[in-house]
Amino acid sequence: MTAVALQIAIDGPAASGKTTVARRLAKRLGILYLDTGAMYRALAVLALQTRTDVDNEDALLRLCGLYRIDVRLEPAAPMGFRIFAGAQECDEATLQSNAVTAIVSTVAAHPRVRAALVQEQRRIAGCAAVVMAGRDIGTVVLPQAPLKIFLTASVDARVSRRRGQLAAAGVDISVHRLREEIEERDRLDRTRRVSPLVPADDALILDSSALDAEQVVDAICAFVPEARL
């Protein structure tokens, strides 16, 4: 019997701490990590650069065909993986810029765009053990993953975390604007027709409002031995 590589799905709303937790968890377990939001963001970068209408699904799909969104999982890279839009490598400041954040939920709402990126995400997960963070990893991308975490946190906790992350990446934004933006992205992610943000039936729901990243990783690690069986 061939052993299937361990897959851990971490889903949750914007700024719930998924990416920090997923990356630290992967490091602790010595496995790879991918933040799938970066793939939707890379496509949003391309849309901005080519002045593509983000409501036009056909045009976005053409972009995906012209410039492949390619990820390479490299734990030593600044984000834990490298991501390319065609020949261009995208860095964290570009992916997290206000302009990209403003349009990414619209980009990610198109079913055929999602299908193209999900196919790539599954291919990656088939190659090696991985912790994958996103919105639909447990429900759609890797429904067979043996460990699924749905990470939540209060809006206040998420605003304050996101502010810290953005400041570290050199992006300045007011608390008021950040709150509006997070609430709007929650609404768009939760109400979209395709792959809305919902916990998988078999996901463990973890509220991280009062926990730091290490505590969340500790809590998840307690379930890993079972998932490895």
Q: How far is the CB of 221 from ligand DC (least distance, A)?
A: 22
What are the structure tokens assigned to 192, written together? 């979209």
Give the nearer residue to ligand DC in terms of CB position, either 191 or 228: 191
Place of tokens 């080519």: 50
Q: How far is the CB of 40 from ligand DC (least distance, A)?
A: 4
**Cα–Cα distance between 115 and 23 in angstroms, integer?**
24
User: Among 124, 117, 142, 11, which Cα is nearest to 72's?
Assistant: 124
Give the nearer residue to ligand DC in terms of CB position, either 138 or 211: 138
Q: How far is the CB of 41 from ligand DC (least distance, A)?
A: 6
| CA torsion, ordered 166, 170, 173, 178, to nearest 10 deg | -10
| Rg of the chain over all Cα atoms, to the nearest angstrom | 17
Give the nearer residue to ligand DC in terms of CB position, either 114 or 222: 114
- Helix, strand, coil abundance in the chain, percent, nearest 5: 50, 15, 35
**Cα–Cα distance between 85 and 127 in angstroms, integer?**
21
- Which residues of this protein are in contact with ligand DC, per CB under 6 A? 14, 36-37, 40-41, 104-105, 108, 134-137, 185, 189
Q: How far is the CB of 197 from ligand DC (least distance, A)?
A: 7
Give the nearer residue to ligand DC in terms of CB position, either 8 or 104: 104
Q: How far is the CB of 1 from ligand DC (least distance, A)?
A: 30
